[in-house]
């Protein structure tokens, strides 16, 4: 069957096993060819081709709910649900999303982009099904990387308690984006390396014959030692959560996958199917990848594996600039440590890990833990740097507020991929961190406009001994290493005068400062351009000066407007001109006391309101 002829998964249900194997080979070739032109998530999708085919062969989507954790590995699912012709538009404007998208297809019952959400969503679907007395299967596919996320652990605990009928497919490829880390991974690894796991058939059979699920699998499978490992069934991770377990099964053997999924479908409660896959299967460069280079790719040459996207010789990505600066500072200060929640490759921290292995900490997909662990390090006298994508930082708001800022601990957070990230879509756009962080007391929030400022801001952050966030975008910029680091005054902005008689004032930040200056010169427009490198605190002296001019002011920002830089400026201007009289808690944390006492202390009781009204009358 030609891939472009597939319009519905029903078309594969009458195919023979050899035909399905041929289809899997065709899909894998199609994915390599297509992604080499458009870019996208390659290795994760190559690893689940047979598994996705088996899922659609056994289950009846869209009636049955197929949920892909994160969703980046759903390309075969999209092909089988009639979207192959749209792959030329993958991750382009108005084109095919790189993730499941409810608005895109009835077969996409869930959508995500962040990890570890699938199990909670699946349990929710199962509860809704039972309350409404409906009849469908709920299947969640989750990888070993996503399983390390705290939300997944919370869900497993609740699933084991509620005992709803659902199937969890555990896609075990021993990687998330790069190598996995942590106790969960060690527990899984101990299972992988156990004596029975390596092939002692006799004990497997004797254990299988003692339970209903095991007996059915024993009768169904072609190779027992590749399917069930009794030490997991009796004492493994999933059994600890009161979940039945079958597996592991070869994730590239369609026949075995179909048999084990059919057996799981007959089970009354929650059951885990452990599937072993090879990330990047079918493309040698991706198969050999140990650090996540082939997880998400730009267009590349299939023969050589080389990216078709080349940076100019004098440019580096913002992530590389921060990483190089961190390396240099760490060389001079042995208390500097680096932390990442499973993003060492993307955040360009692999060189730091190689150079300072005892000062590098990959804590897995655990943003909350990463921040609070950094806080503990800071309280213990270290100087931690946490690199985390803006979109994923949303998960750690409580830890930044409660642990980092409230205790005023000197943790430096590098907010990578800040601003628009483009083709990864709405789940990854880093446009909310300014609004999210501005409300937190004690916190310093900044963004450099060029490479020199990036280096000096990171230096300033460590010297400040304050909770300090530096955001920087996806992309690249001209780079020259600074000869001598310079402290940047906290909260300071910089003014640039373009021309002699300015007609307006433009306040901006990041690389757009230089873009505005260049455009103004190009069009011979005189203006004052402000590099507002600090979002918190803001430069109130500069604002007062600018407001004294009889010139229109434009705040040019490329992030969410609500709670943004313009909001901060307007809030300050209002305190000076009293256009709007505001009553509320000021920028600090509130200690304990009765509610009545605290309302009086913070001047938010009605007596304080009327006092201000009378005084201003």
**408 labeled part of a ligand binding site:** no
**Could you tell me which residues come within 8 angstroms of residue 203 by beta carbon, excluding any fewer than 6 positions away?**
196, 230
**72 labeled part of a ligand binding site:** yes
Could you tell me the sign of the dihedral formed by the alpha carbons of 574, 575, 577, 583, in that order?
Answer: positive
Q: Where are the beta strands (DSSP E) in 81-219?
A: 138-143, 166-172
Could you tell me the sign of the dihedral formed by the alpha carbons of 449, 307, 416, 430, in that order?
Answer: positive
What does the alpha-carbon distance between residue 93 and residue 45 come to, in Å, rounded to a whole number?
Answer: 22
DSSP-based helix, strand, coil % in the chain, nearest 5: 45, 15, 40
**Could you tell me which residues come within 8 angstroms of residue 239 by beta carbon, excluding any fewer than 6 positions away?**
232, 233, 245
Q: Which two tokens stand for residue 20?
A: 């399905």
State the catalytic residue, choosing from 28, 259, 395, 533: 395
Q: Using CB atoms within 10 A of its CB, is residue 406 exposed (0-12), middle (13-18) or buried (19+)?
A: middle
**61 labeled part of a ligand binding site:** no
Give the bridge partners for 494, in sequence order: 531
**287 labeled part of a ligand binding site:** no
Tell me 417's DSSP state: T
Cβ-contact 424, 291 below 8 angstroms: no
What does the alpha-carbon distance between residue 606 and residue 610 come to, in Å, rounded to a whole number?
Answer: 6
Written as one string, the DSSP assignment of 519-576 is HHHHTT--EEEEE--EEES--HHHHHHHHTSSS-EEE--SS-STTSHHHHHHHHHHHH
Give the bridge partners for 168, in sequence order: 140, 272
Structure-token match 């200060």, residue found: 333
Cβ-contact 513, 519 below 8 angstroms: no
Written as one string, the DSSP assignment of 50-64 is HHHHHHHHHS-TTTS
**478 labeled part of a ligand binding site:** no
Q: Which two tokens stand for residue 478?
A: 């001209």
Written as one string, the DSSP assignment of 112-131 is -SSSS-HHHHHHHHHHHHHH
Cβ-contact 415, 448 below 8 angstroms: no
Residue 279 a catalytic site member: yes
Could you tell me the sign of the dihedral formed by the alpha carbons of 401, 403, 409, 415, in that order?
Answer: negative
Q: Choose among 175, 237, 192, 187: nearest CA to 365.
A: 175
Q: Which two tokens stand for residue 594?
A: 């009765």
* Radius of gyration for the chain, computed over Cα atoms and rounded to the nearest angstrom: 28
Instruction: Count CB atoms within 10 A of the CB of residue 476.
Output: 18
**283 labeled part of a ligand binding site:** yes
Q: Terminal CA-to-CA distance of the chain, rounded, Å? A: 81
State the catalytic residue, choosing from 367, 417, 466, 536: 367
State the catalytic residue, choosing from 65, 279, 417, 471: 279
Residues making up the annotated binding site for thiamine diphosphate are 72, 113-115, 145-146, 173, 283, 367
Residues making up the annotated binding site for Mg(2+) are 144, 173
Residues making up the annotated binding site are 72, 113-115, 144-146, 173, 283, 367
| Residues with a known catalytic role | 279, 367, 395
């Amino acid at each position: 069957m030609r891939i472009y002829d597939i319009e519905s998964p029903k078309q594969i249900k009458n195919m023979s096993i050899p035909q399905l194997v041929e289809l899997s080979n065709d899909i894998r070739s199609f994915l390599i060819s297509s992604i080499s032109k458009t870019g996208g998530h390659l290795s994760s999708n190559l690893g689940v081709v047979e598994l996705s085919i088996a899922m659609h062969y056994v289950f009846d989507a869209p009636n049955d709910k197929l949920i892909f954790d994160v969703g980046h590995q759903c390309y075969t699912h999209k092909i089988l649900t009639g979207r192959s012709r749209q792959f030329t538009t993958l991750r382009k404007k108005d084109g095919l999303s790189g993730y499941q998208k409810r608005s895109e297809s009835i077969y996409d019952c869930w959508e995500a982009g962040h990890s570890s959400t699938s199990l909670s969503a699946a349990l929710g679907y199962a509860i809704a099904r039972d309350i409404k007395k409906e009849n469908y299967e709920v299947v969640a596919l989750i990888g070993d990387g996503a399983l390390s996320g705290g939300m997944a652990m919370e869900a497993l605990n609740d699933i084991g308690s509620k005992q709803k009928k659902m199937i969890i497919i555990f896609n075990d490829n021993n990687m998330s984006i790069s190598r996995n880390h942590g106790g969960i991974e060690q527990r899984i690894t101990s299972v992988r390396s156990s004596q029975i796991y390596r092939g002692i058939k006799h004990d497997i059979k004797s254990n299988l014959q003692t339970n209903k699920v095991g007996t059915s699998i024993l009768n169904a499978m072609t190779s027992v030692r590749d399917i069930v490992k009794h030490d997991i069934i009796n004492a493994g991770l999933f059994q600890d959560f009161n979940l039945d377990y079958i597996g592991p099964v070869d994730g590239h053997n369609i026949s075995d996958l179909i048999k084990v999924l059919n057996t799981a479908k007959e089970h009354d409660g929650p059951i885990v199917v452990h599937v072993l896959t090879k990330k990047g299967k079918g493309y040698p460069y991706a198969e050999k990848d140990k650090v996540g280079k082939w997880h998400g790719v730009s267009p590349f040459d299939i023969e050589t594996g080389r990216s078709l996207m080349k940076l100019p010789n004098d440019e580096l990505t913002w992530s590389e600039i921060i990483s190089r600066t961190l390396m240099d500072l760490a060389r001079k200060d042995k208390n500097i440590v680096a932390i990442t929640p499973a993003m060492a490759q993307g955040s360009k921290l692999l060189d730091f890990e190689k150079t300072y292995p005892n000062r590098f900490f990959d804590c897995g997909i655990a943003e909350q833990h990463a921040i609070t662990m950094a806080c503990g390090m800071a309280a213990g006298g270290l100087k931690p740097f946490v690199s985390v994508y803006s979109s994923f930082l949303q998960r750690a708001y409580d830890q930044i507020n409660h642990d980092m800022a409230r205790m005023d601990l000197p943790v430096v957070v590098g907010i990578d991929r800040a601003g628009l990230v483009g083709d990864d879509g709405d789940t990854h756009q880093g446009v909310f961190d300014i609004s999210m962080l501005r409300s937190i007391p004690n916190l310093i929030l900044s963004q450099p406009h060029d490479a020199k400022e990036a280096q000096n801001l990171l230096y300033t952050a460590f010297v400040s001994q304050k909770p300090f966030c530096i955001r920087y975008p996806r992309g690249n910029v001209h780079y020259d290493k600074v000869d001598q680091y310079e402290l940047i005054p906290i909260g300071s902005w910089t003014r640039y005068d373009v021309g002699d008689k300015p007609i307006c004032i433009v306040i901006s930040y990041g690389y757009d400062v230089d873009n505005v200056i260049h455009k103004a010169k190009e069009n011979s427009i005189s203006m004052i351009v402000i590099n507002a490198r600090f979002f918190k605190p803001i430069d109130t002296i500069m604002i007062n000066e600018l407001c004294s001019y009889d010139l229109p002011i434009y705040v040019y920002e490329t992030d969410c407007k609500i709670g943004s830089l313009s909001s901060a400026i307007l809030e300050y201007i209002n305190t000076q001109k009293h256009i709007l009289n505001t009553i509320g808690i000021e920028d600090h944390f509130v200690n304990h006391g009765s509610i009545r006492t605290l309302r009086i202390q913070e001047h938010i009781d009605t007596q304080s309101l009327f006092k201000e009204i009378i005084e201003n009358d």
